[in-house]
Amino acid sequence: MSRKLSYREAMREAMHEALTGDPRVFLMGEDVGMYGGTYAFSKDFLGEFGPERIRDTPLSELGFVGAGIGAALGGMRPIVEVMTVNFSLLALDQIVNSAALYRHMSGGQFSVPLVIRMTTGAGRQLAAQHSHSLEGWYAHIPGIKVLAPATVEDARGMLAPALADPDPVVIFEHAGLFNMEDDLADDWTVDIRSAKVRRVGTDVAIITHGGSLPKVLAAAEQLAAAGIEAEVVDLRVLRPLDTATIMASVARCRRAVVVDEGWRSGSLAAEVMARIMENVFYELDAPVARVCSEEVPIPYAKHLEDAALPQAEKIVAAVKGLLG
């Protein structure tokens, strides 16, 4: 059996389950209470759980992320919502210099079981300061896990294991996915360790994550109509990367394209390409290609924003380029 659910509803359901099932769990962030969340993830939570567990915070990411770290060190299980990835830059010191380091610097005496959720990605005409895709920055940092749920199932299922993890977990939720609906099976299972093959193919492995997954799947359908069978790998977990799943897919298909909404320079795509070259270079029949955002601040105008981002047509062209 299954039921139809949107990405937004799945995440809201996951948080509701966590709040109901564990009194140590609480939600804090800007507008999560009275307003019900900027994207309605916490709608009606304040009335149900009260202000002690649904905490509106001041506009100070540095302050409330730090408070979340303190609460986690004190035995609580905070879910800290940062409105967008852009605003998380104001809390980088807390995330990178505190949360990620406590277990190592304390010799394992302390852990920070903290979940930080944030919206990422472009495609909604919110201009440069609200359209970053900085997942690769966080995937660079030892001491944290980085997740990018791109399906309704992952939106529903990744929060519980993230809260159970003794180390900080950062979850990137692409705003372009929030209204996406899909069937959620009653027997779903989700982990926060492995990548997942979303479509099986033989001619090219297309590796992606987050908001680019629907575009890659659309490109795969277009390629299939042209007789090219693409295998689609959803990274899902950006740190630590599931290298084994990536390499198995690339070795099987012998060609690879990496699709990443981040910019090319210093990107997560570059890391994936490097690992492919290190591990399965002699299995390749063509150089690895990538499709990333253009090296510009994301434009506001719709036609320019679309032109700056990876699109199905660009992915199809990259694959056909590999196949000659």
The CATH number covering residue 225 comes to 3.40.50.920
pTM above 0.85, yes or no: yes
For residue 143, the domain's CATH number is 3.40.50.970
Confidence at residue 284, expressed as pLDDT on a 0 to 100 scale? 98
Cβ pair 47, 87 in contact under 8 A: no
- Specify whether 168 is located in the same domain as 233: no
- 200, 136: one domain: no
Same domain? For 172 and 215 the reply is no
Inside any domain, residue 179:
yes
In a domain? residue 271: yes
- Domain end marker among 185, 206, 229: 185
Pair (22, 161) in one structural domain: yes
Instruction: Considering the candidates 9, 30, 81, 130, report the single residue annotated as catalytic.
Output: 130
> Same domain, yes or no, for 176 and 233?
no
Q: Do 180 and 259 have their domain in common? A: no
Residues 75 and 219 in one domain: no
Q: Is residue 190 part of a domain?
A: no
Tell me the per-residue pLDDT of 90-115, one tens digit each, with 9 for 90 and over: 999 999 999 999 999 999 999 999 99
What are the pLDDT digits (tens) for 147-178? Answer: 999 999 999 999 999 999 999 999 999 999 99
Q: Are residues 158 and 270 in the same domain?
A: no
The verdict on whether 130 is a catalytic residue reads yes
Residue 142 has a pLDDT of 97
pLDDT of residue 226 exceeding 90, the answer is yes
Structural domains of the chain, count: 2
264 and 177 housed in the same domain: no
Residue 15 has pLDDT above 90, yes or no: yes
Q: Based on the fold, state whether residues 77 and 179 are members of the same structural domain.
A: yes
Residue 191 lies in a domain: no
Contact partners, residue 169, CB within 8 Å, separation at least 6: 114, 115, 116, 144, 145, 146, 147, 162, 163, 192
Q: Given 155, 185, 215, which residue is the final one in a domain?
A: 185
Residues 181, 249 within the same domain: no
> Does 141 lie in the same domain as 11?
yes
Among the three residues 128, 157, 185, which one is the final residue of a domain in this structure? 185
Task: Kindly tell me if the per-residue pLDDT of 324 is higher than 90.
Answer: no
| Active-site residue identified among 9, 61, 135, 271 | 61
Residue 106 structural domain: 2-185
Does residue 205 belong to any structural domain of this protein?
yes
Residue 89 lies in a domain: yes
